[in-house]
Structure 1
Amino acid sequence: MVKVSIMGATGVIGKNVAFTLARADTVDEIVFFAREQSVEKARGETFDMYDALAAEDIDCRLTPSSDYEDLKNSAIVLITAGIPREEGMNRRDLAIPNAKIVDEYAKQIAVHAPDSIILIATNPVDVMTTVAYKSSGFPKSRVIGIGNHLDSLRLKAYFSKHININSSEVHTRVIGEHGDHMVPLLSSTTIGGIPLKYFAKSVDMEVPRLVKRLKKAGNTIISKKGATEYGPAFAISNLISTIITDSHKILTVSNYLEGEIGDIYDVSIGVPAVLSKNGIAMIVPIHMNDFEEHEFRIAANVIKETTDEVLKSLNE
């Protein structure tokens, strides 16, 4: 029996992940964990989803709860709870208030679901990944942030639509910060097996404009509809399904580095990793050109600076 718990399940991302995951029919139970004052809202969400799932003959148990005991035996606990980003806000603006929430939840997960994998979606996700890692005491392979998985999917879609080619032919990846300091690995990007730098010579492709659009994607959506919703939900559900099915796919997630890439230490940052039912099986070595490596180091420094401030605040 596979059980997944979602902390912050009544929020936009949390409930969308729950519904997407339930429809995928790969889990047996989803716990809709919410603060006590929001449990009835969580219960209403489960009633609504049961009606929808019945139309597809899906029997997934949906459990609304505010009791930490209900986290017991979870394979994965997803933390989405936190103050949402509003238009014009930088993800770093959320760091200290959201860290207090993640700190509390990570400690409770360690007590009630000690064998689980913690997946972090709360922003700023790289910083929150370190907070959860430090607060839970879990091995770093079992504390994973959603990192640049969504950014990588977005870039893949941009290239696909721009040149009108099936997205399966586009192989690209974004690393670094899930934020302003993300680093598209253009030097390793291929389209139909052809390196991007050669492919771009034969088509009208404004790569810098696509990268600029990528970095503004979240804020653009927030400015138009108030919140990002479907993209993050599907990206997170994809990560969860990859883990619980033990498929060993390489996805770009945030993990605490101890020198595995570029001699970067003591910071959580987006890197490609092999995901298994036990969490991160391996951090995948990557080749970067000089510019990409420079940008990656800047991203690591920016994240670490914020992380240090947040950890200091939690310890005061």
Structure 2
Amino acid sequence: MTSLSVMGVGKIGGEVAYLASVLGIADEICLYDSNAALAHAQALDILHTGIDLSVSTDPDDISGADIAVFSAGIARTPDIKTRADLLSVNLPAADDCAAFLEGYSGVLITITNPMDANNYYLHRRCSIPRERCIGFGGQLDAARFSGYLGEYGIPGDAWVLGEHGEHQVPLFSTLPGDVPEDIRNEILGKMRRSSMEVIRGKGGTVFGPAWHIASLIRNVADNTHAVLPVSCVLDGEYGVSGCSLGVPARIGQSGIEEIIEWDLDAWEKARFMEAAAASCALCRRADE
């Protein structure tokens, strides 16, 4: 049996709770939102599927969940240029949810943007060990990267490290052939713009993120030991400390079992260090 709490049950959080229910990933779910009427409505909507599971809206149940998802806060709009611009408006949501994570002993998955900074902030604010703080974003970025590789006829598995934002780092050195720098930069530019196309068309991304978040939850719940691109609080790995950043990590019931350090080529390493600098700067702002 796996218990899941979702803090912030709007578009993405609500869809994640629904997917975790219908896919049989969790059999106990706690839904929390600052809008209590929304949380109640989402709980009823899930129960009306007829699925046999327990659904609570009592925030006191959050701290007892095996897996907690932080998805509360303001989503990006066409007027918000980058995810980093959401830091000041979403820190209050992080503080609100942190109150329910006192002494939390499960695995925390952070979704709310800027995700890397929020993952680091909740790790420190709630004194949750870094191994149990997972930031979501790399799986979604990798799926987008895979689509662009297909457009260019480039084979191979897609991996994206770095920041979940402007400083994402698609890996080309892991692909079977050499990809020229001009093509790399073209694809990176497309990736940076990909979410905004969805936001302008429908007001926000939902299906892609929710599907990959549900997959991440399943990997934790099922103790798969799969290697996934997730944001981890770094302490010397890749020569970086004091921030959270996307890297390959082995995932299981205890959270991050192992951070795997891959050799990056010069193009990737330069961008990874730019990502580290950007993430560290945001984390210092969050700590102020």
Deviations 1:132-182 (A, max 9, x none): 01001011001111032210121123334654x9xxx74120000100110
By how many angstroms is 1:196 displaced? Answer: 3.4
Deviations 1:87-144 (A, max 9, x none): 1411111102212221332242124xx2111110010001001110100101100111
By how many angstroms is 1:206 displaced? Answer: 5.5
* TM-score in terms of structure 2 length: 0.93
**What is aligned with 1:31?**
30
**What is aligned with 2:15?**
16
Distance (whole Å) between structure 2 residues aligned to residue 140 and residue 107 of structure 1: 18
Distance (whole Å) between structure 1 residues aligned to residue 76 and residue 17 of structure 2: 20
For the residue of structure 2 that corresponds to 1:270, the secondary structure is strand
Q: 2:92 aligns with which of 77, 81, 100?
A: 100
* TM-score in terms of structure 1 length: 0.85
**What is aligned with 1:308?**
284
RMSD over aligned Cα, in angstroms? 2.0
What are the equivalent positions in structure 2 for 1:161-180 lying under 5 Å apart?
A: 163=153, 170-180=156-166
**What is aligned with 1:69?**
60
Q: 1:260 aligns with which of 237, 252, 262?
A: 237
1:110 is aligned to 2:112: no
**What is aligned with 1:79?**
70
1:42 is aligned to 2:39: yes
Please tell me whether the aligned partners of residues 74 and 116 of structure 1 are also in contact (alpha carbons under 8 angstroms): yes
Give ranges in structure 2 of 5+ residues lacking alignment: none
**What is aligned with 2:208?**
231
**What is aligned with 1:59?**
52
Q: 1:196 aligns with which of 163, 174, 177?
A: 177
Distance (whole Å) between structure 2 residues aligned to residue 218 and residue 182 of structure 1: 13
Distance (whole Å) between structure 2 residues aligned to residue 208 and residue 97 of structure 1: 31
Letter in 1 for 2:250: V
**What is aligned with 1:285?**
261
Letter in 1 for 2:247: V
By how many angstroms is 1:207 displaced? Answer: 5.2
Please tell me whether the aligned partners of residues 62 and 100 of structure 2 are also in contact (alpha carbons under 8 angstroms): no
Distance (whole Å) between structure 2 residues aligned to residue 5 and residue 42 of structure 1: 12
For the residue of structure 1 that corresponds to 2:237, the secondary structure is coil
For the residue of structure 2 that corresponds to 1:81, the secondary structure is coil
**What is aligned with 1:151?**
141
By how many angstroms is 1:208 displaced? Answer: 4.2
**What is aligned with 1:192?**
none
Distance (whole Å) between structure 2 residues aligned to residue 44 and residue 28 of structure 1: 19
By how many angstroms is 1:30 displaced? Answer: 1.2
Give ranges in structure 1 of 5+ residues lacking alignment: 190-194
Distance (whole Å) between structure 2 residues aligned to residue 88 and residue 272 of structure 1: 32
Q: 2:218 aligns with which of 237, 241, 248?
A: 241
By how many angstroms is 1:70 displaced? Answer: 1.5
Distance (whole Å) between structure 1 residues aligned to residue 66 and residue 137 of structure 2: 20
1:187 is aligned to 2:187: no
Please tell me whether the aligned partners of residues 109 and 136 of structure 1 are also in contact (alpha carbons under 8 angstroms): yes
Larger Rg, first or second structure (1 or 2): 1
By how many angstroms is 1:297 displaced? Answer: 0.4
Displacement over 4 Å in runs of 4+: 205-208
> Residue 107 and residue 143 in structure 1: after superposition, are their counterparts in 2 closer, same or farther (change >3 A)?
farther
**What is aligned with 2:4?**
4
Letter in 2 for 1:157: G
Q: Work out the number of aligned pairs and report it.
A: 286
By how many angstroms is 1:77 displaced? Answer: 0.7
Distance (whole Å) between structure 2 residues aligned to residue 162 and residue 20 of structure 1: 32
Letter in 1 for 2:158: T
Distance (whole Å) between structure 1 residues aligned to residue 99 and residue 31 of structure 2: 18
Question: Which of 97-106 and 15-24 deviates more?
Answer: 97-106
